[in-house]
């Protein structure tokens, strides 16, 4: 199941605002890094998001799932996150390819760092209420959304090894003036994801982008080990 348009994933909106300032597309979804499970906006019209009750509407808010938020890194190379929140999605639109995998409810928490100058990082943890969520399914969801994006190019999917996340999926793509990377890996029954966006410019360095990817993974792995 490949969506006709890229679904919006948790913390995508925040990175969209960061990278969107570069591409001047604040109101439109940034393809790749915007591909992580749906946030508020889908579900039953007029229904209020209530994380303590049954899932009838997608949503996210600070403190919704404190146990998941506690698993997030509290700093990226010494700097605290700009925002931290959590939520869940259960709409077919929000779940995208996960719906075809019989995922009924996806919960998540994420920390986002606005690094300025069109750059940003999000560290996200995903879970399902019962059982194990395969990292391959989340990687599949991101890639399907990226390939469905009309403004996304230079899409490359690889399986690199990172310290503490040896069996990872990496997705790189360019969206307008934004270089975006998603790294996904398994952590027990949970799935860890880091999303990185940096601007594309004549003076921009791919090495600097890759260093930020490595840093985001390292800080997330350290947070997991500490938890």
Per-residue pLDDT tens digits for 90-145: 998 889 899 999 999 999 999 999 888 888 999 999 999 989 999 999 999 999 88
Q: Answer whether residue 1 is part of any domain.
A: no
Q: Answer whether residue 5 is part of any domain.
A: no
DSSP 146-164: HHH-TTEEEEEEE---BTT
Q: What pLDDT is recorded for position 9?
A: 54
Q: Answer whether residue 6 is part of any domain.
A: no
Q: What percent of the chain has pLDDT over 70?
A: 79
Q: Which of 120, 82, 113 has the alpha carbon at shortest distance from 198?
A: 120
Most confident of 17-21, 46-50, 78-82: 78-82
Q: Answer whether residue 3 is part of any domain.
A: no
pLDDT at 26 over 50: no
Domain extent at residue 83: 12-226
Which of the 8 DSSP states describes residue 53? S
Average pLDDT, the chain: 81
pLDDT at 62 over 80: yes
Q: What percent of the chain has pLDDT over 90?
A: 52
Q: What pLDDT is recorded for position 7?
A: 44
Q: Please, which residues have CB within 8 angstroms of residue 40's CB and are 6 or more apart in sequence? A: 49, 57, 58, 59, 60, 87
Q: Answer whether residue 7 is part of any domain.
A: no
Residue of 168 and 27 predicted with greater confidence? 168
Q: What pLDDT is recorded for position 32?
A: 35
Distance CA 175, CA 98 (A): 23
Lowest mean pLDDT, pick from 6-15, 54-63, 99-108, 129-138? 6-15
Q: What pLDDT is recorded for position 12?
A: 52
The H-or-E segment that residue 210 falls in is: helix 206-226
Confidence of residue 182 (pLDDT cuts 50, 70, 90): very high
Cα 160–chain centre separation: 18
Q: Please, which residues have CB within 8 angstroms of residue 99's CB and are 6 or more apart in sequence? A: 1, 92
Number of domains in the chain: 1
Q: Answer whether residue 99 is part of any domain.
A: yes
Q: Answer whether residue 128 is part of any domain.
A: yes
Q: Answer whether residue 195 is part of any domain.
A: yes
């Amino acid at each position: 199941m490949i969506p006709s348009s890229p679904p919006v994933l948790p913390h995508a909106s925040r990175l969209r605002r960061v990278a969107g300032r570069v591409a001047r597309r604040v109101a439109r979804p940034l393809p790749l890094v915007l591909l992580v499970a749906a946030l508020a906006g889908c579900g039953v019209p007029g229904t209020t998001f209530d994380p303590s009750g049954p899932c009838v509407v997608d949503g996210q808010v600070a403190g919704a799932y404190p146990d998941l938020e506690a698993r997030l890194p509290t700093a990226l190379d010494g700097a605290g996150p700009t925002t931290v929140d959590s939520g869940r999605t259960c709409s077919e639109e929000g779940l995208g390819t996960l719906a075809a995998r019989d995922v009924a409810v996806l919960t998540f928490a994420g920390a986002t760092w606005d690094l300025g100058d069109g750059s940003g990082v999000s560290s996200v943890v995903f879970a399902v209420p019962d059982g194990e969520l395969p990292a391959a399914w989340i990687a599949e969801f991101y890639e399907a959304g990226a390939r469905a994006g009309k403004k996304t190019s230079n899409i490359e999917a690889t399986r690199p090894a990172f310290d503490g996340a040896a069996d990872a999926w990496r997705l790189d793509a360019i969206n307008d003036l934004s270089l975006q990377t998603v790294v996904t890996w398994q952590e027990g029954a949970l799935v860890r994801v880091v999303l990185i966006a940096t601007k594309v410019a004549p003076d921009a360095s791919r090495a600097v982008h890759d260093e930020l990817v490595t840093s985001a993974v390292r800080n997330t792995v350290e947070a997991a080990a500490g938890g």
